[in-house]
Structure 1
Amino acid sequence: MTNLTRRHFGAALTAGLAIPMLPDAVSARAQSGTSFYVAVGPDLTQYAMDGATIAPIEGSTVSAPAAIQYVWQHPARPIVYVASSNRFTSTSDDQHHATAFAMAPGTGKLSMIGQPTPLSSRPINITMDKTGRFLLVAYNGPSSLTAHPIAADGTVGAAIQQDGKLDTGVYAHQVRLLPSNRTALLVTRGNDAAGGKPEDPGALKTFSFDRGRLSNKQSVAPGDGFGFGPRHADFHPSKPWVYVTMERENQLQAFTIGPEDRISAVPAFITTTLAEPGKVRPGQVAGAIHVSRDGRFLYLSNRADGKTDANGRKVFVGGENSIAVFAINQKTGEPVLIQAVDTQGYHVRTFTMDEGGKVLLAASVAPMDVLSGSTVSTVPALLTAFSIGADGKLGFIGKRAVDTAKGPMFWCGFPPLN
């Protein structure tokens, strides 16, 4: 299976709904910690929540050089790093950058620091080490990984020349540092067989990390990586467990982290991410993943955007667009599905939870045409907010249509950004 950005990017640029700006009274509430950030195309906008009302803050939008792919916050300084690329918005495919933005105290308003740093190709994902001295960048095509020093002013330096060739697999999709900060994890998805081309295997690639220097360490690829399509990973905050969404298999797999940051060769647990795994339709894939800050629960997105012909238009073919909630057994690490909540939008590529673990915000990439009886209607791209209960389960709060005329809604995050 392939993702929306490669199949339907042109359709993703259809317009959503017009958005009024927040009045000053609600903007003031954003300063007390109710704000979050949303990336649409090249624009990063600060939003605020007031009960069920979700709206952008006037004058808060900043722009990257091209469509935003991912965002990460410095672990100790009020600086945001933005990865951007024009791979899907231009035939030239030549604008790829990492850009630093300062966050104003109290308001969170962003302003660019220095100039964007050029990168070699599309930066699909970024992260920072715990010291905040290095930014790591994952690239999907060609699959690769770079590490960059952070200057005293917060800007991103040129890639550090590595001593040897790094084994970066096929189609890197995420980079993270293990909790030790001594090992980098590159999640490489591979590709399904298509158009006469055989399957590309996936893997979890790890690298020793020492002050920006990377060296090959381990490749975890059950079944030699065939039928193994990892997309994103997250870690338990206190146990040696790493959880991985399998995009191509609609699975959640749990691995253990052993001595010297060695990841188990096979998963300890495998479970479906779907409420109805026997009804998989075209375009159904697993997505992002976040473990709660107390380690008791795990959340991941199920994305469906397959289409079929109806009344001369391409309409949604069906599938699960949900946030799946898992309870984590604190003795064994086993994740058990306890809830699957409809996001009310289509293809939730990104979601986030606030620092207090009380709110989850999901963002769908783009509008979707939907057939109801003989009528075709367009559901806009949505931000959907849920409360997080003490039992980990989600309750609907409210939603907001987002105009995606400038590009897909690829990322959202609460401060501290994740």
Structure 2
Amino acid sequence: MNAALYANVGPDLTRYDVDVINAELIKRDTVTLPAGVQYAWPHKSRRYLYVATSSSASGYGKAGTEHHVTAFSIHPATGALRPHGEPIRLPTRPIHVSTDIPSEHILVAFNNPSAVRVYRINKDFTPGEEVAQPGVTDPGIFAHQVRVTPNNQQVILVTRGNEGTPTKAEDPGALKVFDYKNGVLSNEVSIAPNGGKEYGPRHLDFHPSRPWMYVSIETQNKMDLHRLVKGRVVSQFVSRVDTLIEPNNIRARQAAGTVHVHPNGRFVYGANRAQDTVDYQGKPVFKGGENSIVVYAIDQKNGTLKTIQHVETQKIHPRTFHIHPNGRLMVVEHNLPVNVRDGDAVKTVMAGLSVFWIDDDGKLTFVRTYDIDVGDKTMWWMGMVPLNA
């Protein structure tokens, strides 16, 4: 199965061919969006890609004025992108975008202020008008992802909250779960263990065939298992495991990130991120921490996880990663350059991509990295889309 890989630097989204046999990425062409790429999601047909963009800074940084969803058609043989219709405007920075299961609607998560909105997909596959909602009673604090359950009957808004500081109390995190039908959200339920204290969920993924959902808890560096009963999320998590190889040796802020289930349903992968710096010889250098992918084997009877590997990603801050649809290759994206100590000297580890084989036992074997000069911009998103040719 062939796939195209797309990775952004600021507003530029570049296409790569993926040579699975040699674990190589071949850079092809680039399209430019109205503002910095935040996330993208393919139509279920694999013929269109919906890209969310914003001119706002990340987190609670400076707010911009340009926020859009732009549609592209995907060439079925090459993966080349062509604009498809006009972008639609959004009110604030979109941090995540996905479609419902039949790709009849686009769901957008916003982090500041936290919100979720739903937009119709027109018959010509362009993004359309917003669906009026009866009212989202509580969108949580700092939404980070929005997903629809595999049966298309519930929507989950992952809200991270914010860690406490010496001058500000912690903001609680939660999973906001809604019933979903024809683009309309209703009957909200909040999943917030301990009232959301010390609970900062960031990202989730579903098992491809079993009623299991895996959620990375960013601020506590955990991975939770939730079950689905009759397609509906059960609020109490079943089990929880660590993401870090040394959970008791936190050298700088650690943040669990993206989680993906392998297409064969036997393994779960999660990202560990660290990038804090300290001053050394007048330069900010990496303070230390785990930048890795953790690999879990899934118990096929009950969905619980067993850690089988931690592998360094060879760069700093693996913001996201993606598994090739044939399950044999993983590519990890790192969003920014960071200085590191090299003996008594200082060198820069550039932003870029790392490529790994995925072995039959689910473990990863590092193959190569690709350095990418991002200048004053950031790599926020990377993903692979299967091609139909």
Mark yes or no: TM-score above 0.5: yes
1:337 maps to: 307
Q: Is the 8 A contact 1:288 1:300 kept in 2?
A: yes
Q: Which runs of 4+ in 1 moved over 4 A?
A: 89-92
Deviates more, 1:103-112 or 1:350-359: 103-112
Answer yes or no: is 1:395 the counterpart of 2:365: yes
1:304 maps to: 274
Please show how residues 317-356 of structure 1 align to structure 2 within 5 Å: 317-356=287-326
Answer yes or no: is 1:414 the counterpart of 2:384: yes
The residue type paired with residue 87 of structure 1 is: S
1:376 maps to: 346
1:12 maps to: none
Answer yes or no: is 1:196 the counterpart of 2:167: yes
Q: Is the 8 A contact 2:225 2:239 kept in 1?
A: yes
Deviates more, 1:82-91 or 1:330-339: 82-91
Three-state SS of the structure 2 residue aligned to 1:409 is: coil
Answer yes or no: is 1:102 the counterpart of 2:102: no
The structure, 1 or 2, with the larger RCO (C-alpha pairs under 8 Å, 6+ apart) is 1
Once residues 260 and 42 of structure 1 are traced to their aligned partners in structure 2, the CA distance between those partners, rounded to angstroms, is 37
Please show how residues 247-326 of structure 1 align to structure 2 within 5 Å: 247-259=218-230, 261-264=232-235, 266-326=236-296
The residue type paired with residue 399 of structure 1 is: T
Give the fraction of aligned pairs with identical amino acids, expressed as a percent. Answer: 43
Q: Is the 8 A contact 1:166 1:216 kept in 2?
A: no
Three-state SS of the structure 1 residue aligned to 2:82 is: strand
Q: How many residues are aligned here?
A: 383
Answer yes or no: is 1:41 the counterpart of 2:10: yes
More strand by share: 2
Deviates more, 1:153-162 or 1:340-349: 153-162
Over 3 Å counting, the alpha-carbon distance change for 1:386 and 1:260 in structure 2 is closer
1:73 maps to: 42
Q: Is the 8 A contact 1:54 1:399 kept in 2?
A: no
Deviates more, 1:88-97 or 1:353-362: 88-97
Q: Is the 8 A contact 1:364 1:383 kept in 2?
A: yes
Deviates more, 1:130-139 or 1:193-202: 193-202
Answer yes or no: is 1:232 the counterpart of 2:203: yes
1:185-228: CA deviations, max 9, x gaps? Answer: 11100001125111110011111111111113311111000001
Over 3 Å counting, the alpha-carbon distance change for 1:175 and 1:371 in structure 2 is same
Q: Is the 8 A contact 2:101 2:151 kept in 1?
A: no
Once residues 52 and 398 of structure 1 are traced to their aligned partners in structure 2, the CA distance between those partners, rounded to angstroms, is 8
Over 3 Å counting, the alpha-carbon distance change for 1:284 and 1:111 in structure 2 is same
Q: CA deviation at 1:34?
A: 5.3
1:3 maps to: none
Answer yes or no: is 1:87 the counterpart of 2:92: no
Q: CA deviation at 1:49?
A: 3.8
Once residues 243 and 34 of structure 1 are traced to their aligned partners in structure 2, the CA distance between those partners, rounded to angstroms, is 25
Q: CA deviation at 1:293?
A: 1.2
1:34-70: CA deviations, max 9, x gaps? Answer: 531111111111112442543311xx20111111000
Once residues 52 and 76 of structure 1 are traced to their aligned partners in structure 2, the CA distance between those partners, rounded to angstroms, is 26
1:78-130: CA deviations, max 9, x gaps? Answer: 00000001111995511110000011121111011121110011100011011
Three-state SS of the structure 1 residue aligned to 2:84 is: strand
Over 3 Å counting, the alpha-carbon distance change for 1:338 and 1:260 in structure 2 is closer
1:119 maps to: 90
2:32 maps to: 63
Over 3 Å counting, the alpha-carbon distance change for 1:287 and 1:92 in structure 2 is closer
Q: CA deviation at 1:77?
A: 4.7
Q: CA deviation at 1:262?
A: 3.6
Once residues 260 and 287 of structure 1 are traced to their aligned partners in structure 2, the CA distance between those partners, rounded to angstroms, is 25
Q: Is the 8 A contact 1:36 1:47 kept in 2?
A: yes
Three-state SS of the structure 2 residue aligned to 1:276 is: coil
2:130 maps to: 159
Q: Is the 8 A contact 1:369 1:376 kept in 2?
A: yes
The residue type paired with residue 82 of structure 2 is: S
For structure 1, the 5+ residue unaligned runs are 1-31
1:132 maps to: 103
Three-state SS of the structure 2 residue aligned to 1:191 is: coil
Over 3 Å counting, the alpha-carbon distance change for 1:327 and 1:49 in structure 2 is same
Once residues 169 and 360 of structure 1 are traced to their aligned partners in structure 2, the CA distance between those partners, rounded to angstroms, is 32
1:364 maps to: 334
Once residues 378 and 361 of structure 2 are traced to their aligned partners in structure 1, the CA distance between those partners, rounded to angstroms, is 33
Q: Is the 8 A contact 1:218 1:262 kept in 2?
A: no
The residue type paired with residue 357 of structure 1 is: G
